[in-house]
Amino acid sequence: EAGVTQSPTHLIKTRGQQATLRCSPISGHTSVYWYQQALGLGLQFLLWYDEGEERNRGNFPPRFSGRQFPNYSSELNVNALELEDSALYLCASSFPETQYFGPGTRLLVL
């Protein structure tokens, strides 16, 4: 069974640009979660999508947004990038409770 996939693996942007990160959940999983793991910090919850709706949001500014598509894949958008947005962005999917993580997208903001 294929796991959670994320693309791209690495992304380099400059301050002020927008970044789009993509995630495909495990087949049959309807919930998708996004987490940020900055260097030296733990995983911080960003967003939770289920059945196409945003269900919960962490303590992040509105420039972090996303959506979930009818096939349950998801996109995370980060607008007006700042240097401190540099981090590993992890996507997870679940059914029913346990979250399984993808390999992450490493975002570097210069």
Partner 1 sequence: EDQVTQSPEALRLQEGESSSLNCSYTVSGLRGLFWYRQDPGKGPEFLFTLYSAGEEKEKERLKATLTKKESFLHITAPKPEDSATYLCAVQPPFQGAQKLVFGQGTRLTINP
What the block records as the tokens of 2 is: 């294929």
Q: How far is the CB of 45 from partner 1 (least distance, A)?
A: 4
What the block records as the tokens of 6 is: 């994320």
Q: What is the CA radius of gyration of the chain?
A: 13
What the block records as the tokens of 45 is: 């919850």
User: Should residue 17 be labelled a site residue for partner 1 when binding is judged by CB under 8 A?
Assistant: no
- Tokens 């640009």 sit at which residue? 17
Q: Which residue, among 34, 70, 36, has the nearest Cα to 55 in the 3D structure?
A: 34
User: Should residue 103 be labelled a site residue for partner 1 when binding is judged by CB under 8 A?
Assistant: yes
Sole window of 60-68, 69-77, 79-87, 96-104 interacting with partner 1 (rule: CB under 8 A) = 96-104
User: Should residue 90 be labelled a site residue for partner 1 when binding is judged by CB under 8 A?
Assistant: yes
The contact set with partner 1 (CB under 8 A) reads 4, 31, 33, 35, 41-45, 48, 50, 55-56, 58, 88, 90, 92, 94, 97-104, 106
